[in-house]
Amino acid sequence: MKGSGRNISLTSYDDLFSTEETRQADAREQIQQIPLSELHPFKDHPFRVVDDDRMMETVESVKAYGVLVPAIARPMEDGGYEIVAGHRRKRACELAGMDTMPVIVRDLDDDESVIIMVDSNLQRENILPSERAKAYQMKLEAIRRKAGRPSRENCSQLGNNSDGKRSLEILAEDAPDSKNQIHRYIRLNSLEQPLRDKVDSGELAFTPAVELSYLKPEEQQWLQNALEVTQQTPSLSQAQRIKKESKEGTLSEQGVMEIMSEEKKPLYNSVTLSHDTLKKYFPKSYTAKQMEKVIIKLLDNWLRSRQRAQER
């Protein structure tokens, strides 16, 4: 019985008089009020922070109620904090004249930070195609690195994780888009900046843009010049022909110009509204698809209103 007391441990004074609630609170992450001057943007953050109507609504909300959802940030080696989630909230606080904002500070590695940053933004409605494309690319590379596979520049290759799942399938599990659609978005990263801008503005349709993303940089410059000269936008069939000739090695600058100079068949029984006509009615960040969605919704409401009037 001599050794019966060897494993006895005494409970500390603090443990005796602390409640379970207190112990759980100590274990949880604490929200801190951090000066805005110490919060810095995430490196290569793909989502633009624009002072548009939505931002002004956020500013008014911050003035009235404060920041309801804390930002997430990680400590930086040279001082300050790198924002992982909350770039728009920080800007709203700046515009609202605040000096600090609530932040949860976490010790995150680069890949964990990318995944949280992308996931916290992808569910927003007003994301430009180029923003979504870059975000998906960043998260895909982070997933592949976490799975132990080296990253490559070719965005179409897919690594496997320990469960045998492909990285793109893992990415699609928590994304608002399908695996195939995510792959199409990632293809947009291979477009030169002027063409990506046209996709964002709705001047270049998404599906033709994906086909044109396979062109070499020089060939994309030929296309950009042809679009400026002809003031035309490539149809899907034109984009596919240009891609095919590029793949076969027969594409030339003159050939691109000839394809884009073709007279397109008129679309009978259709109404076309130019982007210049529509843009004054929508925020600058709206894509052509988002504009179309709003227009259809308004037309549905108008139709129901007419039907009710006829039933009276």
36-87 tens-digit pLDDT: 999 999 998 999 999 999 999 999 999 999 999 999 999 999 999 999 999 9
pLDDT band at 308 (very low <50, low <70, confident <90, very high): low
| CA 47 to the chain's CA centroid | 6
Tell me the mean pLDDT in the region 109-132: 90
What are all long-range contacts of 141-145, with beta carbons under 8 Å and residues at least 24 apart?
Answer: 141/114, 142/110, 142/111, 142/112, 142/114, 142/115, 143/111, 143/115, 143/167, 143/170, 143/171, 145/111
Q: Torsion angle, CA of 114/115/121/125, rounded to 10 degrees?
A: 130
Q: How far apart are CA 66 and CA 102, in angstroms?
A: 9
Please provide residue 277's backbone torsions phi and psi, each rounded to the nearest 5 degrees: -70, -40
Which amino acid makes up residue 53?
D
The amino acid at residue 129 is P
CB within 8 Å of 101: residues ≥ 6 apart: 33, 34, 36, 39, 67, 70, 71, 86, 89, 90, 93
Query: What secondary structure letter does DSSP report for 72?
Result: E
- Beta carbons within 10 angstroms of residue 205's beta carbon: 17
The pair of structure tokens assigned to 299 is: 């037309």
Please determine, for residue 159, whether its predicted confidence score (pLDDT) is greater than 80.
no
DSSP state of 190: G
Alpha-carbon distance of 91 to 87, in angstroms, equals: 6
CATH of 25-108, one of 3.90.1010.10, 3.90.1530.10, 3.30.70.890, 3.90.1170.30: 3.90.1530.10
The domain segmentation of the chain, as residue ranges, is 25-108, 127-190, 192-262
Q: Residue 300's pLDDT is what? A: 80
The predicted-structure confidence for 202-261, as pLDDT tens digits, reads as follows 999 999 999 999 999 999 999 999 999 999 999 999 999 999 999 999 999 999 999 999
